[in-house]
Amino acid sequence: MTGLATPLPIDLAALNLPRPGAATHKHNRGRLGVVSGGPLRTGAARLVARAGLRIGAGLVKVLCPPDAAPVLAPTLEAVMLDVFHDPLDLERLAGPMDAVVIGPAAGVDEATVLNMAALERTGAALVLDADALTVFAGRAEHLAQGLDRDDVVTPHAGEFERLFPGWLERVGREAAAVEAAATLGCVVVLKGDRTLVAAPDGRLRIEAGGASWLATAGSGDVLAGMIGGLLAQSMDSFDAAGAAVGLHAEAARRFGPGLVAEDLPGLLPPLLAERLDGAGPSP
C-alpha cells in the first residue's frame, strides 16, 4: 500500500459522546447484547457487559448457553440475562438489540461460527473480539462475508496475524490496519502499545499516549464492551471505536500500577463527566 496518510491522534477533548435527554428511557438509550461462553468461561462476558452499561447503554443483556445461566444469574444485577439453546434462538433474542458483542471466551469452534452467522442476520452492529476472530484464522475472506461498515473487529497483534498472516511484517502496523479494514469492510481496532483505529475508507486514528497498565487479562474484554455500548447508542462505528480506545487508555493512565480489568468500568464515570460537562442533550 502506498500513500498512507499519517494517523491522527485520538483527541478526547473532541469526542462527541452520546448524552441522554430529559425524555430518554432505557430502551431508546441503546440495547447491548453480550454472548457468553460456557459455565467455566463467563467472566469475560461479565466484564463486557459491565463496561457497556457504564459507558451509557440503557439496557445490557447477557445471552448464554443453558449451563452457564446458574453461574451468571447470581453475579448479575443491573445486567439482564437470557438463555439460548441454538443459533436460531440466539437470533431471536438478539433481534431487539442495537449492538452485540461476541468472541470473548466464546470458544474457538463451529458453534461460535454459527452463532456469529445468526447475529449477522439481526442487523445489530457487531463487535467481534478474541475467539470470534481466532476461529477464522487464515480465512479472513469468510469473516468478511458477514460484516458491514457498522461492525468493529478488535484484534491484538496475535489475532491479527492469524487472520492476515505476514501482513504486519510486510507493510507495518498502520498500513496493515488500513488494508484489513478495507478487506473486511468494517472498522478495525488493532490493539497494542499504540492502538490503531482504521476505517474501510482509509481513515486512521492512533492512541499515541499508550497505557502499559492495560497489559492485564480482561482489559480487551472491557474495551469490546465500551465499543459495543457506544454503538448501541447509535454512535458511528469509527467514532465509537476511537472514543472507546481513548477513554480506555486514559482510564488506565489515571489508575496506574495495580490496575486489573475489573477496575476499568468504574473509572469511566468521571471521564465521561469531564467530556459531557457543559454539553447539551443529544437530539
CATH code, residues 24-136+209-268: 3.40.1190.20
Indicate the domain borders of the chain.
Answer: 24-136+209-268
* Three-state secondary structure readout of the chain: CCCCCCCEECCHHHCCCCCCCCCCCCCCCCEEEEECCCCCCCHHHHHHHHHHHHCCCCEEEEEECHHHHHHHHHHCCCCEEEECCCHHHHHHHHCCCCEEEECCCCCCCHHHHHHHHHHHCCCCEEEECCHHHHCCCCCHHHHHCCCCCCCEECCCHHHHHHHCCCHHHHHCHHHHHHHHHHHHCCEEEECCCCCEEECCCCCEEECCCCCHHHCCCCHHHHHHHHHHHHHHCCCCHHHHHHHHHHHHHHHHHHHCCCCCHHHHHHHHHHHHHHHHCCCCCCC
Average pLDDT of each block of 10 consecutive residues along the chain (283 residues)? Answer: 75 88 84 98 98 98 98 98 98 98 97 98 97 97 96 98 97 97 98 96 93 96 98 97 97 97 98 78 43
What pLDDT does residue 3 have? 57
State pTM to two decimals. 0.96
Residue 265 — φ and ψ, nearest 5°?
A: -55, -40
pLDDT for the residue 20: 85
- Using DSSP bridges, classify how beta strands 99-102 and 80-83 pair: parallel, antiparallel or unpaired: unpaired
The per-residue pLDDT for 5 is 66
- Distance between CA atoms of 139 and 118, rounded to whole angstroms? 19
